[in-house]
Structure 1
Amino acid sequence: MKVKLPIYLDNNATTPVDSRVLESMLPYFSEKFGNPLSKHTFGYVTNAAVDFAREQIANLIKAEKNEIYFTSGASESINIIHFGIALKHVSKGNHIISSDVEHSASYESLLQLIKKGFDVTFLKCDSKGFIHPEQIIEAIRTETILVSIIAANNEIGTVNNISEIGKVCRANNILFHTDATQAVGKIKIDVQEMNIDFLSFSSHKIYGPKGIGGLFIRKGLEQKISPLIFGGGQEKGIRPGTLNVPAIVGFGKAAEICNKDFEKDFIHTKNLRDKLYKNILSSLDSVTLNGDKDNRLPGNLNLLIKGIKADNLISNLREIAFSSGATCSSETGKPSRVLKAIGLSEEDSRCCIRIGVGRFNTSEEIEYASEKIIEEITKLRLKRNYQSTI
């Protein structure tokens, strides 16, 4: 089988829209264009579609459909919870617990709250990127109003024990939020069993359209959030504004497919990821896996390639699309905050690559990518060794 180039292996950054998702969206750009709040046939049709999508998404995370709110993406969902809870509960306390391995959408949001006088404890992860429940227990104070911990890390793929962290928060009567942007659709998420109060996630990470996100708010807790946007009564006032119906329909379809094909997708991406890792490890020395080997996202592979700058490797392999870390922070040119948190030096952190295997990757693509990555690393190392002898 001939491999079609370029090969996309950056599914942690974003995923292609599934053709079934696109097909579901198309009618809502043309003949089914009504505003869901309009009290006529056009509005009833789109309102029903939004309602159905809400149910499809709720089913994926084991929530009720009236606990799902639509936003522009996970970044907005995260900010709604951080700022909404902080503003609502400032009279009770000003302390928030988070971690040093959060996505920038969460980390930067909390830095803004610090500027506004809130006290944020950023717990330090261990060498694999885990935040442990015991750390939450030790950090809790009487003025603690929120715990916000990432479910699965976007760079190194480590999956936290969210259920146990949620249990600690529930036992201490503290609200618990998790950024599950990388986790939803890839690993099992049950908001009830995992004691989650608020959960943020995005459509474009699960083969849906960009620019649409979800926010789970446990029933009854919507009253504990101060809205950040005003005007209109959409989404119970939590996030007012005319709903993006085509994107919502696509989000719903993407969630439905993830739910139905979960086991197949999980096994497929994990097997391909393991194959790629095995090929690289068997051919090269001085390669280290970042994050935990077992408790990690099925498609995530983050590798330290000693002595080889990730940017050089990426620029020399134009036929393969992968990254050196989180896309959102790649423009800064700074070493990864997450890699630093797990103990890597600045030099080593610049030698790390992130590969994201997805639903549409094939075994042939992985074989080709393995061969080219190994070949290029070998060339760069030979060049480096030669230059060091001159």
Structure 2
Amino acid sequence: MNNPFDLFALPDEHEALREAIRALAEKEIEPFASEVDEDSRFPSEALTALNASGFNAIHVPDEFGGQGADSVAACIVIEEVARVDASASLIPAVNKLGTMGLILNGSNELKHQVLPAIADGEMASYGLSEREAGSDAAAMRTRAKRTDHGWVLNGTKAWITNGGRSSWYTVMAVTDPDRGANGISAFMVHKDDPGFSVGNHERKLGIKGSPTTELHFEQCELPRERIIGEPGTGFKTALQTLDHTRPTIGAQAVGIAQGALDNTIAYVKERRQFGKPIAQFQGVEFMIADMAMKIEAARLMVYTSAARAERAEKNLGFISAASKCFASDVAMSVTTDAVQLFGGAGYTRDFPVERMMRDAKITQIYEGTNQIQRLVMSRALLR
């Protein structure tokens, strides 16, 4: 009996997208993943492959030269790349993060200036955090002052993913210190703007192929049209952006977890102890079952969150925070279990699961720590 019951089923075009990006990732990205991590180098092969296929910034609307893919499609791309290399998945993920505020609230003129370049292969990054303004982002000290010709920025941003590789940066700065969070504005900064420079690279536990840097602004001059929206709306733009991009971190986490599970299943079928494959021991079977169960739950929550963002539903705070929080906790749990099931081999660099465990940790931290996600969720529920 043919029963076309498609509730909770992805459309055929999304499944075709998954097949295409998975094939590309396994052929063009996975062979370099270990080397990228070992040498802490940018995954240039991944960038070339993603640019050639149009998967580098699939979210950019078609009127600006992009593919105009929906939020679930963007999550699928990020998930499948993260399944083989978390560092490489930050190319499409951070391209969305670095342009989402512009897409949501920027002028048409500014969109035409920035988005075609991103669709064509350049990259974008996001500058909200500072050394003393991470979870408390509204405490930022970077300042922007209006001039006769535009704006002048002064200050430093920290923890900038793909810093130094991107051409464009969405940067939050205080334009009216007396108004608190309502005195923050958002700007688009180009790498060639006078007074802009990239600081030192961080030495990190994981995602070593994605550079993380500071950004410095010393009398950095911007044309007046580079502001996103009206002055004082920048913090709202930042929060709106995160509502749309936290599911992409959830997607990255799901991809890392899936990659770890896939490698683990293959290993436990081959590894023999006491005369049989360890996959036949009930303790191992239970761990594999729990890993897969958690991943399926996380994937559904991520896709649901992305779909709700695509529908422009109001009050996205809870579900976007929940999807990021749950999926990243799952990624940490699954990758830790993967290393355990590999035994001593899992603790070596000869197998990818130790890299995946190190990469998973950051998903619990960036775009808001999971402690902050729980605050966001509880406040949404208790409001």
Shorter-chain TM-score above 0.5: no
Q: Judging by fraction of residues, say which structure has more helix.
A: 2
Comparing both chains, which one has the higher relative contact order based on Cα–Cα distances under 8 Å and sequence gaps of 6 or more? 1
